[in-house]
Amino acid sequence: MSDREAFYANLKEKLKETTNFPTKYLYKFIVPSEESKIKQVQDLFDKGGAVISTRKSRSGKYTSVSIHLNVSNPDEVISYYQQAETIEGIISL
């Protein structure tokens, strides 16, 4: 099992223990302040009910993206994180 697989297996167990699904889940990411990167994150979560907010860092180099999204189970939470990992320069919080 790779480190990433172990991380997600651990996250899945923690979500099962601490969260009642379905729930509104908060995703937080930091991305370089390039319009294309911010749009990639927004497009990933652009589905019914997603509430997305952004805020630039003081220096303007990075943008914080917060997404509130209704999810039905731990696998759905993890699926979004795995898709977000493909965006260059993204940091999951």
- Give per-residue pLDDT as tens, 48-82: 789 999 999 999 999 999 999 999 999 999 999 99
Contact 89, 53 (CB under 8 A): no
Q: Looking at this protein, which amino acid is placed at residue 28?
A: K
- Give per-residue pLDDT as tens, 1-33: 889 899 999 999 999 999 999 999 999 999 999
**Position of tokens 């370089």?**
32
Reduced to 3 states, what is the DSSP secondary structure of residue 54? strand
Contact 52, 42 (CB under 8 A): yes
Tokens for 83?
């898709």
Domains of the chain: 3-92 (3.30.70.260)
Reduced to 3 states, what is the DSSP secondary structure of residue 88? coil
Whole-angstrom distance, CA of residue 93 vs CA of residue 91: 6
